[in-house]
Amino acid sequence: MAVIIKYVVERNGVERMTFTSKKEADAYDKMLDIAEALEDMLTKVDVPLSEQQVESLALEIAKQKDDFVSVLKGGKVAPKANAKNKSENEKASDPDKVTKIKQA
């Protein structure tokens, strides 16, 4: 019989993710802490967002925090070498698939 150690990240009594490494579990827990703090910030902005949109946006920003920090400091996001991201970037640059932002 094998003994397997599992690290479980739990939030508000709900099991969110299970890891085999403490380092990965701690990193995921920290990302959830960041997302939670971002949710608090996003609920205060003057943009109408649903609760689900706030949660999703906060989680995505937390997942890509290094890129966001770089941009907020005036830098640029390094291009990803992944082919999947490249195809997504090409789709986003297609003018027919870009939603125009309305000017107030």
Supply the DSSP symbol for 103: P
- Among 6, 30, 33, smallest CA distance to 18 is for 6
Residue-level pLDDT at 68? 87
Binned at pLDDT 50, 70 and 90, residue 81 comes out as: low
Tokens (6 digits) for 50: 């649903």
Distance CA 93, CA 58 (A): 24
Binned at pLDDT 50, 70 and 90, residue 82 comes out as: low
Q: What is the pLDDT of residues 42-76, one digit of tens each?
A: 888 888 888 899 999 999 999 998 888 888 888 77
| pTM tops 0.95, yes or no | no
With 80 as the cut, is the pLDDT of residue 96 above it?
no
Strand residues in 1-104 grouped as ranges (E)? 7-11, 14-19
Q: Are strands 7-11 and 14-19 parallel, antiparallel or unpaired?
A: antiparallel
Residue-level pLDDT at 92? 46
Residue-level pLDDT at 44? 85
Q: What is the pLDDT of residues 27-42, one digit of tens each?
A: 999 999 999 999 888 8
- 29: buried, middle or exposed (CB in 10 Å: 19+, 13-18, 0-12)? middle
